[in-house]
Structure 1
Amino acid sequence: MQIGDVAERTSLSLRTIRHYEEVGLLPEAQRSPGGFRLYTEDAVTRLLLIKQMKPLDFTLEQMREILDVRQRLASPRCSDKTRAGLQATLEDYQRLADDKLTELRRKVEHAEAFAAHLREPLS
């Protein structure tokens, strides 16, 4: 599918999709005979996952590693020993995501308290 279709399905801008490809979060898109980028369903899935990681402030390198680990785990050639190490890496990232989510919730509580304070009548 072309980049415009991907942008519509993911609610990401064309520029953002191109950027993620340039920094290696997406594999390089195939090109149509006319030179248009062509993306797969897997690319859409990756973009949606990246979109979920973004609010948690994962770095590009962390996102790249998470995507790589998930792809390697999905491979039928992944040995049991390798699989155990990859699953441990994902568990570490799960804990990190939980910590980041806790921090986001704390920030939301503070923002809500501040908004409530602003709604109070001035005396």
Structure 2
Amino acid sequence: MSSEHMQIGEVAARTELSLRTIRHYEETGLVTPSARSQGGFRLYTETDIARLMVIRRMKPLGFTLEQMRDLMDATDRLDSGEELSAEEREEGLAQVREFERMAAERVTDLQTQLARAEEFAATLRERLAPVRLA
């Protein structure tokens, strides 16, 4: 086995995703192992890991599997090295820009939620402060 290829266990450790999640992403077409060993084990490359990391970062922002697939398709086309027409290239870039906009919006929403959660925790600490002093 080439040192460039990793089995699913190493990929799971590096990405902090479960084996089940990685297999699910494979079943849904989000990521495909680059190769299989003679024994049939899935083999992944650094490129596959990078793809899984993008997916992992999209998940907490609430992107659906379909949206993840759409972004992956757009970036795959842009990164394919094949000659794209100006229109195809701009369409792909427009899709990526839209995902960037949605991600920024969701990050702002999460920051607001975090601030509210921190305020709530502070309120509870203040309420318990007199009890701790007693």
Q: What is the TM-score with the length of structure 1 in the denominator?
A: 0.93
Whether the 8 Å contact between 2:15 and 2:52 is mirrored in structure 1 is: yes
Aligned to 2:51: 46
The 1-side partners of 2:21 and 2:124 are apart by 35
Shift of 1:30: 2.7
Provide the C-alpha distance between the structure 2 equivalents of 1:107 and 1:115, rounded to a whole number of angstroms: 12
Select between 20-29 and 87-96 the one with higher mean Cα deviation. 20-29
Q: Which residue of 2 aligns with 1:66?
A: 71
Q: Aligned partners of 1:60, 1:32: CA distance in 2, in Å? A: 28
Larger-gyration structure (1/2): 2
Deviation at 1:76, TM superposition (A): 2.1
Identity %: 53
The list of structure 1 runs, each at least 4 consecutive aligned residues, that deviate by more than 6 angstroms after superposition, is none
- Larger deviation: 46-55 or 25-34? 25-34
* Structure 2 stretches lacking a partner, 5+ long: 1-5
**Is 1:117–2:128 an aligned residue pair?**
no
TM-score, normalising length from structure 2? 0.86
Please give the per-residue CA displacement for 1:53-106, whole angstroms capped at 9, x wherever unaligned. Answer: 111000000000111111110122222220001111111111111111110011
User: Is 1:18–2:32 an aligned residue pair?
Assistant: no
Paired residue for 1:90?
A: 96
Residue 121 of structure 1 deviates from its aligned partner by: 2.9
Select 1:103's aligned residue among 105, 109, 118: 109
Query: 2:126 and 2:43 mapped to 1: Cα distance?
Result: 53
Instruction: For residue 29 of structure 1, report the CA deviation from its aligned partner.
Output: 5.0
Who is 2:40 aligned against? 35
Rounded Cα–Cα distance in structure 2 between residues aligned with 1:30 and 1:43:
11
Where 2:76 maps in the other structure, the secondary structure is: helix
Count residues with an aligned counterpart.
123
